[in-house]
Amino acid sequence: MSDQPVLHVKGRVLVGPQDVRDELWVVGGRVSYDRPAGARDVRTVQGWALPGLVDAHCHVGLDAHGPVDADTAEKQALTDRDAGTLLIRDAGSPSDTRWTDDRADLPKIIRAGRHIARTRRYIRNYAWEIEPDDLVAYVAQEARRGDGWVKLVGDWIDRGLGDLSPCWPREAVEAAIAEAHRLGARVTAHCFAEDSLRDLVEAGIDCVEHATGLTEDLLPLFAERGVAIVPTLVNTATFPQLAAGGDAKFPRWSAHMRRLHERRYDTVRSAYDAGIPVFVGTDAGGSLPHGLVAAEVAELVAAGIPPIEALAATSWSARAWLGRPGLEEGAPADLVVYDGDPRADVGVLAAPRRVVLNGEIVE
Instruction: Please give the DSSP secondary-structure letter assigned to residue 350.
Output: G
State yes or no: pLDDT of 145 exceeds 60.
yes
CB 185 within 8 A of CB 143: yes
> In terms of DSSP bridges, do strands 207-210 and 228-230 run parallel, antiparallel, or are they unpaired?
parallel
> Within its chain, how far is the Cα of 134 from the centroid?
27
| CA-CA-CA-CA dihedral for 176, 179, 181, 183, to nearest 10 | -140
Average pLDDT, the chain: 96
| CA-CA-CA-CA dihedral for 340, 342, 346, 349, to nearest 10 | 70
pLDDT at 40: 74
Domains of the chain: 5-51+326-361 (2.30.40.10), 53-322 (3.20.20.140)
pLDDT at 1: 38
- Collapsing DSSP states into helix, strand and coil, what is residue 28? coil
Q: Which residues contact 155 (CB under 8 A, 6 or more apart)?
A: 164, 165, 166, 167, 190, 191, 192, 193, 195, 196, 213
> What distance in Å separates the CA atoms of residue 314 and residue 238, rounded to the nearest whole number?
22
**Residues 297-316 pLDDT 10s:** 999 999 999 999 999 999 99
> What distance in Å separates the CA atoms of residue 279 and residue 274, rounded to the nearest whole number?
14
Nearest CA to 304 out of 231, 246, 358, 245 is that of 231
> What distance in Å separates the CA atoms of residue 250 and residue 241, rounded to the nearest whole number?
14
CB 300 within 8 A of CB 231: yes
Order of strands, sheet of 207-210, starting from the edge strand that comes earlier in the sequence: 128-130, 116-118, 149-153, 186-191, 207-210, 228-230
Instruction: Judge residue 164's burial from the number of C-beta atoms within 10 Å of its C-beta, 0-12 exposed, 13-18 middle, 19 or more buried.
Output: buried
Instruction: Judge residue 98's burial from the number of C-beta atoms within 10 Å of its C-beta, 0-12 exposed, 13-18 middle, 19 or more buried.
Output: exposed
**Residue 325 — pLDDT band, cuts 50, 70, 90?**
very high
> What distance in Å separates the CA atoms of residue 233 and residue 267, rounded to the nearest whole number?
11
- Collapsing DSSP states into helix, strand and coil, what is residue 62? strand
State yes or no: pLDDT of 184 exceeds 60.
yes
Amino acid at 137: A
pLDDT at 3: 64
Written in H, E and C, the secondary structure of 69-109 is CHHHHHHHHHHHHHCCEEEEEECCCCCCCHHHHHCCCCCEE
Distances (CA, A) of 349 to 93, 131, 157, 340: 27, 43, 36, 9
State yes or no: pLDDT of 203 exceeds 50.
yes
**Residues 17-45 pLDDT 10s:** 999 999 999 999 999 999 998 777 789 99
Average pLDDT over residues 241-245: 97
**pTM of the entire predicted model:** 0.97
Average pLDDT over residues 151-157: 98
Nearest CA to 56 out of 325, 291, 272, 319 is that of 319
Average pLDDT over residues 100-114: 97
Nearest CA to 164 out of 95, 243, 270, 217 is that of 243
Q: Which residues contact 113 (CB under 8 A, 6 or more apart)?
A: 92, 141, 142, 143, 145, 146, 149, 150, 151
Nearest CA to 180 out of 235, 85, 112 is that of 112
Q: What percent of the chain has pLDDT over 70?
A: 99
